[in-house]
Structures are given as structure tokens and as C-alpha cells.
Amino acid sequence: MSDESLTPSPESKPVLDYPCGDAPAPGSAVEIVPGVLWIRMPMPFALSHINLWAVRDGKGWAGIDAGLQTSETAAAWRDLFAQEGALADGLTRLFVTHMHPDHIGMAGWLTRKFACRLWMTRLEYLNCRVLAADTGREAPEDGVRFYRRAGWDDNAIEAYRVRFGGFGKYVHALPDSYRRLRDGENLTIGEHQWRVVVGNGHSPEHACLYSEALKILISGDQILPRISSNVSVFPTEPDADPMGDWLASLAKLRQEVPDDVLVLPAHNEPFRGLHARIAYLERSQHQALDRLRAALTEPRRAVDVFGELFSRPIGGEPGLLGMATGESIAHLNYLVHREEAVMEVGADGIAALHRYSVRPGARSAAASPPSRQRVCAPPPWAPRTSRPPIAARGRRENRCAACPPAR
């Protein structure tokens, strides 16, 4: 998950500035500018941390994101709220950037502890409620068909059935009401104005917070310095185009947020160089799409194109396989939505495999030069079950582990 695991060429990867020094120890906080705290919470996974933020808000603090629901996170919060802790004045309200468990997991616990309100976008709040309601349910047949069509074997399908409904394990019960965040809304937090900048693709309605006065962007998972956000299609909306949404959201960030901001991401360290990072992510995605176009001269299933997209073998570990499949379909759907590729449905139209190929007459770009990138470990809440491998190698940047489980 670190830079050491990548070997990009100096020409292709921008040099970012990391001005804030060493990260705080897990469960502790440091002030990075007056009135803004950087909090790092532990996670028991390959991606071992999440960054949370607190902004001075009157007599207390406005929290941004909550951490995964674990006993370790709860203990760390208690220490921060203790009399000698960095957050001894408590929370006035809690903002959550999006619904993934490492961001929203402790939101219900925190809002109840301080009788404060939860602020988040509508789609994120409602989607979290839906996913949490799946806890303990059997896997739906629509989901089974979705992954069967993508090329999963019986072992992978059985693993999906076993792990389905695990989302709620890491999410404390949400409050029954919330304060909705809207794109473009201006908020007063303490002494400063913050604007809500909503993006899509990684999550349905992800909220970033931008302060012009402080020159700070709290970016959540929408843009990260060393890993890139997972962008996936899920069984609930199999024809979605999240890759198109995510690329549009990157362009929107470049247009609405100046380059000289200090970016406070959910993972890795605060950095400067927003526009260069956006350009790199866009270039990497378009290189992957070029490789995919070149590979679709013959019909291919979603699991058949892992080699064009990912730089490590994608075996049968359930979380990693689900993440890779969702992202492969996101790339394929991107081409289908732009009439560059067609999807061929099997004879029965229901459970048969779906194969993709270049649309006759569409542009077929040559494969771009290799970009040495890789996918990350499975999402944090995926059970660590070993399964036989399904597909092989390719190229792609690290994936953020903060992604929803297959549904």
C-alpha cells in the first residue's frame, strides 16, 4: 500500500509535497493549522489506518468522519475526549464524507454520546441504512446472477453467499435522522466558511469540504495521494457508469478547487499538488481503458480482463475478487455507455455469461505504455478466506481498501 511497492517512471508520477511531517500515532491527534486537528485511527487490515479530522466549532469540535466500529477505535475516541485529551471539549456535530464503514462506522456512537447531529448527503445516508439492513440476510439471487455472468465459479459464488450481509458488523446503528449536505452549500464551521463539493463514482454522493480562507480541502476518499479510490459496479445497479462519474468528479474538483490547497485525505498524508494528482489519476484511467479496448478484439468476460487492469494476480480471496470484478465491469460499462463496446448476453438472457467486445467501427486504441501499478488488499470488512485463483496479471494503481462489499 506504500510508495515502495510501486515503480512508476519519474515522468509519469507527479512529485507531491507532504508538508505536515509524520502522521500522529494511532488514536492520537496533532494540530496541522490553528483550529484543525489531524486524527489517525487504527484499522486491523492491510490498510492499517484512516485519517479523521476535527475543526474548532465554537466551544467544541466539528468531527469529520468517524472511523471503523471496533473496540480499538472506541477506546481511542474515549482517550481523545478525556479531560486531558485533544478533544476534551467534545463534539458539536459530526460530518461524514460517505457511507463506507471506515468513515461512518462510529457515527452513531459519537452522535449519541454528544447528542449532536449527523451531517451527510442524502444518498450516502440512505444507502448506508439499506446496506446495514442487509446484515444477516441471505445473498439475493440478483447478486448471484450478476457475479455468475461476470465469470465467477462455484467456489466464488459460495464465498459471496457466505460473506453477504457483513456490512453492519463495522457500523454502529445510525441515528434515525440527519442533516442533509447539498453540493455547493456553504457552511459556517467555527470562524470559517466551508463549501460542500460532491463527487460520484467511488461512492454515490461523496462530500468533500473546501475552505477558501484556510486553503484546505478535506477530500475523504475522492482523491488520495498514494492510492486511488475503488470505482465499482454492484449488483444493485448492474448498468451503472461509475467510472464516467468518477472522471467527471475529478474534472469538477480541478475546476472548483484551486491547486494551492492543502489536501486532507482519508488515507496516507496531507499533501499539496491537487491538480497534478488529478491529472495523473485521469491519465492512468485512460491508459487502462486503452489497454481494455485493445483486448476486446475478441469477446471477453469481466474476469478475463483482470490482466489488462491489475498488476497483481487476482485470486479467489472473496473481498479482492469482488472488488476487482466490480472495477472491471466499471471499465467495461464505461465503454458500453460510450458505444465503444457491446455486451453480448447468453442465450437464456438470465444466468448466461456476459461477454464484451469492441463495437464494430468504434475506435480501438493501441495499448498505452505500461504503468506500474497494483491493487490493494481486500476491503477491510471482507473475511479472509482463501479460494482458488481465477485470473492473472496486468497493470493498475493501488486500490483504496475503503470500499463497500459486494451486494
Reported as a single tens digit per residue, the pLDDT across 71-101 is 999 999 999 999 999 999 999 999 999 999 9
Is pLDDT above 50 for 383?
no
* Burial class of residue 315 in the structure, from the number of CB atoms within 10 Å of its CB (0-12 exposed, 13-18 middle, 19+ buried): middle
pLDDT of residue 329: 97
State the cell numbers at 387.
479460494
Q: What's the rounded mean pLDDT across residues 234-252? A: 97
Average confidence (pLDDT) over 287-298:
94
- Read off the C-alpha cell for 112: 449519541
Strands of the sheet containing 179-181, edge to edge, are 28-33, 36-42, 49-57, 60-64, 91-95, 117-121, 179-181
pLDDT computed for residue 6 by the predictor: 23
Q: What is the mean predicted confidence (pLDDT) over 2-8?
A: 27
List the alpha helices (DSSP H) in 16-59: none
pLDDT above 70: percentage of residues in the chain: 84
202 pLDDT more than 90: yes
pLDDT at 397 over 90: no
Domain formed by 23-138+167-274, architecture: 4-Layer Sandwich (3.60)
Query: What are the cell numbers at 59?
Result: 466551544
pLDDT of 71 reads 96
d(CA 95, CA 124): 12
Q: What is the mean pLDDT of residues 60-67?
A: 99
**To the nearest whole number, what is the mean pLDDT of the chain?**
87
Four-CA torsion 257, 258, 259, 263, nearest 10 degrees = -50
Mean pLDDT over residues 104-116, rounded?
99
Q: Report the C-alpha gap between 338 and 245 in whole angstroms.
A: 13
Report the C-alpha gap between 172 and 81 in whole angstroms: 19
pTM value is 0.86
Q: Is the pLDDT of residue 373 over 50?
A: no
Cα–Cα dist 247/217, whole Å: 18
Least confident window among 164-168, 216-220, 348-352, 355-359: 348-352
Which pLDDT value is given to residue 353? 61
Confidence tier at 366 by pLDDT (50, 70, 90): very low
Report the candidate in 78, 64, 68 with the shortest Cα–Cα distance to residue 106: 68
Lowest mean pLDDT among 9-23, 46-60, 185-199, 286-300: 9-23
Q: Is 274 within 8 Å of 223 (Cβ atoms)?
A: yes
Residue 356 pairs with which residues in a beta bridge? 300, 343
pLDDT computed for residue 356 by the predictor: 79
